[in-house]
Amino acid sequence: MTQLITTLAPAPRLRIWLGGLLVAVGAWLGAYLHLEDFADTMLAATGLDRGSRFSDAAHFFLYDTPKVLLLLTAIVFLVGVIQTFFSPERTRALLSGKRVGVGNVLAATLGIVTPFCSCSAVPLFIGFLSAGVPLGVTFSFLISAPMVNEVALVLLFGMFGWKVAALYLFMGLAVAMVSGFVIGKLKMERYLEDWVRAIQAGETQSVDGNAMSWVERFETGLGHVREIVGKVWPYVLAGIALGAGIHGYVPEDFMASIMGKDAPWWSVPIAVMIGVPMYTNAAGIIPVVEALIGKGAALGTVLAFMMSVIALSAPEMIILRKVLKPTLIATFAGVVATGILIVGYVFNAVL
Amino acid sequence: MKNVKVLGTGCANCKNTVKLLEEVAKAKGVDIQLEKLEDLQDIMRYGVMSTPGVVIDGKVVHAGGVPGRNKIESWFL
């Protein structure tokens, strides 16, 4: 079947894709509008009594799992397609020569839509600098790209609603913009490793990025779904199962005294300090976030914890050590951690 | 004989790229000399910003992510 499709001329292949997408969107909407019915039917099929603790937990699981997986698939596909318009080369071209300030805002925003893998962080970093992107602007990108990503946003939206997701988006962007801006103002260029500074402004070979057909863009989107959803679904299931268990059993104010709204002021810094050396992606940390919030922890404290886990990590520091001198790494970690702290306090105060 | 270099710092995608390149070359009966460049300074010399990158006979043909099988086959024609 795939063999057949790939040997067809581009136009019919596009038609197959568009037809397929139309069917998929219809099926998606149908499924999304009947989540409640699905959970009810499944629960009825097991013969459990409604109203018992266990059936409450089971219903929560049966409702949330398909919901989050549906959202994840749709958004990851969409982002995968959007990303084909923003290759790292293109993003760099957009950013080079931009002034500090405007550049920081643009860099943090582009961080959401530019494809990024943590193992590419260093080549990207050098590639940006050698093309004349200011150091602070480069940092804005480097902070935003892993932290504000579609998986984190979808999971937050699915589990806590759009307000929390939107707050996370804006706070994450703000941390990336301001941290990059501060690092730029500190004039830290001399703390780059010498060989990095020696690399001459970019004779980068451009790779066939822009001349993509829509069929290729859709195929990339599908590949993105396979890669991301294929990797994160176990975390999502684990997270929802944990959430379901907590939903049914654990008393709601379990964490309230240490991480709740009325907890001492030092609960936010402690959360960030625990989070920095930890490393996992957004999907891995969301189960923990869900569990903590379910037990009465304050949202700001938990989100600060989550940001520090995703944005700052020991393995990333070790990779960055190849291009940055220790002073600059320490500054980077310090500035970002401070930004996250402020976000934690603001969230706790506002909500 | 084609000289093929894979640029990457050793993440899972880079390993998959090497494996796929070997597989396709073997299936097509193309003779290749495969090298892996893991040193950052070597990688940067090719101006590649997103790894894994693929260089064939000194020319960068791909950067960022595991290349698709179709794409690899087109290099080995």
- According to the model, what pLDDT value does residue A338 have? 92
Q: How confident is the model at residue B51 (pLDDT cuts 50, 70, 90)?
A: confident
CB atoms within 10 A of CB A318: 10
- According to the model, what pLDDT value does residue A1 have? 42
Contact yes or no for A123 and B43 at CB 8 A: yes
Chain B, window 44-63: residues with a beta carbon less than 8 angstroms from a chain A beta carbon: 44, 46-51, 59-63
- According to the model, what pLDDT value does residue A328 have? 92
Q: Determine the residue among B49, B54, B56 to mutate to test chain A binding: the one whose Cβ has the most chain A Cβ atoms within 10 Å.
A: B49
Q: What value does the mean pLDDT take over residues A202-223?
A: 70
Chain A, window 50-69: residues with a beta carbon less than 8 angstroms from a chain B beta carbon: none
Q: How confident is the model at residue A58 (pLDDT cuts 50, 70, 90)?
A: confident
The pLDDT tens digits for A116-150 are 766 677 888 888 888 888 899 999 998 888 888 78
Alpha carbon of B51 to those of A76, A110, B44, B58: distances in Å? Answer: 21, 19, 10, 16
| 3 state SS of A19 | helix
Amino acid at the residue A117:
C
Q: Is the pLDDT of residue A248 over 70?
A: no
Q: What value does the mean pLDDT take over residues A184-209?
A: 70
Contact yes or no for A119 and B49 at CB 8 A: no
Interface contact A195, partner B, CB < 8 A: yes
Tokens for A114?
């530019």
Alpha carbon of A128 to those of A71, A95, A142, A335, B22: distances in Å? Answer: 33, 8, 10, 21, 32
Q: What are the sequence ranges of the domains in chain B?
A: 2-75
Residue A204's nearest CA partner among A273, A276, A130 is A130
Q: What are the sequence ranges of the domains in chain A?
A: 34-200+213-351
Least confident of A36-50, A245-259, A272-286: A245-259
Class of domain B2-75: alpha beta
- According to the model, what pLDDT value does residue A200 have? 53
- According to the model, what pLDDT value does residue A2 have? 46
Interface contact A202, partner B, CB < 8 A: yes
- According to the model, what pLDDT value does residue A10 have? 64
Q: How far apart are CA A333 and CA A136, in angstroms?
A: 14
Comparing A102 with A49, the larger pLDDT belongs to A102
Amino acid at the residue A284:
G
CB atoms within 10 A of CB A312: 24
Closest by Cβ to B49, choosing from A89, A119, A195 = A89
CB atoms within 10 A of CB A29: 12
Q: How far apart are CA A11 and CA A9, in angstroms?
A: 6
Phi, psi of A53 (to 5 degrees): -60, -45
- CA–CA–CA angle A218, A223, A226 (5° rounding): 130
| Per-residue 3-state assignment (H helix, E strand, C coil) for A255-301 | CHHHHCCCCCCCHHHHHHHHHCCCCCCHHHHHHHHHHHHHCCCCHHH
The pLDDT tens digits for A305-347 are 888 888 887 777 887 888 889 999 999 999 999 999 998 998 8
Q: If you average pLDDT over every residue of chain B, what do you get? A: 84
Number of inter-chain CB pairs under 8 A, A vs B: 72
Q: How far apart are CA A260 and CA A331, in angstroms?
A: 30
| 3 state SS of A323 | coil
Contact yes or no for A120 and B47 at CB 8 A: no
The share of chain A scoring above pLDDT 70, in percent, equals 88
The pLDDT tens digits for A232-243 are 888 888 878 877
CB A69 within 8 A of CB A239: no
Q: How far apart are CA A274 and CA A304, in angstroms?
A: 11
Q: What value does the mean pLDDT take over residues A284-297?
A: 77
- According to the model, what pLDDT value does residue A3 have? 47
Comparing A211 with A100, the larger pLDDT belongs to A100
- According to the model, what pLDDT value does residue A220 have? 83
Question: Phi/psi class of residue A7: alpha, beta or left (left: φ > 0; alpha: ψ in -120 to 50)?
Answer: alpha
Q: What value does the mean pLDDT take over residues A52-69?
A: 84
Interface contact B74, partner A, CB < 8 A: no
Contact yes or no for B51 and A120 at CB 8 A: yes
- According to the model, what pLDDT value does residue A320 have? 83
Q: Is the pLDDT of residue A43 over 80?
A: yes
- According to the model, what pLDDT value does residue A9 have? 63
Alpha carbon of A348 to those of A187, A251, A268: distances in Å? Answer: 33, 21, 9
- Cis before residue A123, ω within 30 degrees of 0? no
Q: How far apart are CA A79 and CA A220, in angstroms?
A: 10
Q: How confident is the model at residue B11 (pLDDT cuts 50, 70, 90)?
A: confident
Please tell me what DSSP assigns to residue A84.
Answer: T
Contact yes or no for A88 and B49 at CB 8 A: yes
- According to the model, what pLDDT value does residue A8 have? 58
- According to the model, what pLDDT value does residue A211 have? 66
Q: What value does the mean pLDDT take over residues A54-66?
A: 84
Contact yes or no for A199 and B44 at CB 8 A: yes
Q: What value does the mean pLDDT take over residues A157-169?
A: 86
State how far residue B63 is from chain A, nearest Cα, in angstroms: 7
